[in-house]
Structure 1
Amino acid sequence: MSETYLAFMIGLLGSVHCIGMCGPLAFAVPSLQKGAGWLLLDKSMYQAGRIISYSILGLIIGLIGNQLWMAGMQQGLSIFSGLLILLAACSRIFKVAVRSSSKYNLLLKPFHQLFGYALKHKANHLIIGMINGLLPCGFVYLALAGAVNQPGVPEAITYMFFFGLGTAPLMLIAAVTSGMTGAILRNRINRVIPYFILCLGIWFILRGLDLNIPYLSPALHSGTAVCK
C-alpha cells in the first residue's frame, strides 16, 4: 500500500466523521450567486480551501520530520507516532470522553472571529475552507502523524494533499445535497473507523521496529527513506 493511497483512505474514512462535525459549517455558508452551478462551484472552493490548508500543514510538519530523519530518529519517530495513534483508537473504542474546557473554547475564539470576516468576502467559501482546515481535529492529527514520518518535505505535502483529497468526495456530496448521508449510516461507519486506526497504529510501530519485512516493517538504513 503506497503512502498516498493510505493518506487518501484515512481522509475518505475520516470524512464520515467530518460530515457530522464540520458539515453544518459547510452547509451554513451562503452562496453569493444563485443557481446549481454556482452552488457546486462554491462548495468545491470550500473543499479546495481545506486541501490548501492541509498541504500547508504538510509543509510545516514535513520540515520538522525532515530534521528528525536527518538526525537518525526515524525509527523512534515511527514507534512514537504509532503509540499515539493506538491511544487515539483505544479512546474511541472504549468511548473515553474528552471534555471541552474553557482553554479549548479560548483557542477557538480567533477562528470564530475569522469566520465572521470571511463571510463578508467574495471568496468566502475558499477562505472559510482554509480556516476550517486549521481547526483542531483528531483525524487531521492522525494524518499529520503519518506526514511527519515521510522522508522529505515534498512527500509530507503530498501525503497531506491526498488526505485532504480523500475528505472531499463525501463532504462535497453532503454539502451539495444538504446532508444526503443519514445519521444511521454515519454511526455504523464510525464504529468501524477506530479499528482501522488501531491497525494503522500497529503498522507504524512495526515500521519502526526494523524487522526487515517488505512493506510491513522494511529495513531502515541511515539516510534512506522507508520503503513505500
Structure 2
Amino acid sequence: MSTISLAPVFLVGLLGSVHCAGMCGGIVSAFSIAPARRFPVAVVSLRSAAPGPALARVLAYNSGRIASYMAAGALAGGLAGAARTLSGLAVIETAAYWLANLMLVVLGLYLMDAWRGLARVEQLGRTLWRRIEPATALLLPLDSPAKLVAMGAVWGWLPCGMVYSVLLTAMLSGSALSGAAVMLAFGLGTLPMLLSMGMLGAPLRNAIARPLVRRACGLMVLAFGAVGMLRAARGVDHGWIDALCIAVPALLP
C-alpha cells in the first residue's frame, strides 16, 4: 500500500483551481445570487449582493461538490484496493504510482496551455454527464440550502481532467476511507478559489485567466509529478523529498 501525503494533494487542488475558475467560476457565481427558475450560466457580479447570504450559498454548493469528490475517491480507493488484494501483484501498485505522477505532469501542461491532451480525457466523462445533467432541473429554483448542497453534489460529477488526475492518487491509497481523504484534501484545495469566485465573480476570473498565472500554477503542478517520477526512478535521495511526493509506495526504498 502507498503512503499518501495529503499536503501535496491539497496544493495540487489549490494550484489547479485556476482551471476551476474558468470551468466552474461562472456557475458558482450564479448559484450564489438570488434563486433562479432557470439554469444560470452567465457570470454574475456579486458586488451588489449581501455578503452573508451569498457566502452561505457558495459554501452550501461547494460542500455538495466536495462530498461528490469524496464519494468518487472512496469508490476508486475501495475498488483499487480490492483488486490489488485479489491479485497480490505489487507491479499494479508500481504502475499506478507512475501513472498518477505522469497525470500530474499532463495536468501541469494542460494548465499551462502547453498541451491539451487532458481535454480528450474529459470527453470520456461527457457520456456519464449527459445522464446526470437533467437532474439539475429538478432542483430549481435554488431556494434552500439543501437544494444548493444537492446541486453542488450533482455538479461535482462534471467532466474534469483535473479531478480524474487526482482520482488516480485516490486509487493508490488502497482503501475507500483513504481514497475519500485524498479527494477531501483536493477539494479543500480548490475551495479558496471557488469561494472567491462566488463572492467576486468576473473580476477575479479575468485576473486568474492571465497566461502568466496559469503557467506558474501549471509549472508547479508539473513539478510535483516530475519529483514523484524521479523518486520512483531512484534518481533522488528519499527523505525530505518524500514530503513533495503525492504517494510513496512501500516497495520503494
Q: TM-score, normalized by length of structure 2?
A: 0.73
Q: What is the CA–CA distance in structure 1 between the aligned matches of 2:233 and 2:122, rounded to whole Å? A: 37
| 1:1-228 correspondence to structure 2 within 5 Å | 3-29=5-31, 30-32=33-35, 35-70=50-85, 71=88, 72=90, 73-90=92-109, 92-96=112-116, 98=119, 107-120=128-141, 122=144, 123-187=146-210, 188-209=212-233, 213-214=238-239, 216=241, 220-221=249-250
Aligned-residue identity in percent: 23
Q: Give the letter for the 1:16 counterpart.
A: V
Contact kept? 1:18, 1:171, Cα under 8 Å: yes
Q: TM-score, normalized by length of structure 1?
A: 0.80
1:67 CA displacement:
3.0
Contact kept? 1:75, 1:210, Cα under 8 Å: no
Q: Give the letter for the 1:45 counterpart.
A: A
Contact kept? 1:144, 1:160, Cα under 8 Å: yes
Q: Give the letter for the 1:108 counterpart.
A: W
Q: What is the CA–CA distance in structure 1 between the aligned matches of 2:74 and 2:123, rounded to whole Å? A: 30
User: Quick one: structure 1 residues 163 and 20, their matched pair in 2 at CA, closer, same or farther if it must change by over 3 Å?
Assistant: same
Alpha carbon RMSD of aligned pairs, Å?
3.3
Q: What is the CA–CA distance in structure 2 between the aligned matches of 1:126 and 1:46, rounded to whole Å? A: 5
User: Quick one: structure 1 residues 10 and 89, their matched pair in 2 at CA, closer, same or farther if it must change by over 3 Å?
Assistant: closer
* Structure 2 portions without partners, runs of 5+: 37-48
Q: What is the CA–CA distance in structure 2 between the aligned matches of 1:142 and 1:219, rounded to whole Å? A: 17
User: Quick one: structure 1 residues 100 and 206, their matched pair in 2 at CA, closer, same or farther if it must change by over 3 Å?
Assistant: closer
1:105 CA displacement:
5.6
Contact kept? 1:26, 1:43, Cα under 8 Å: yes
1:152 CA displacement:
3.3
* Structure 1 portions without partners, runs of 5+: none
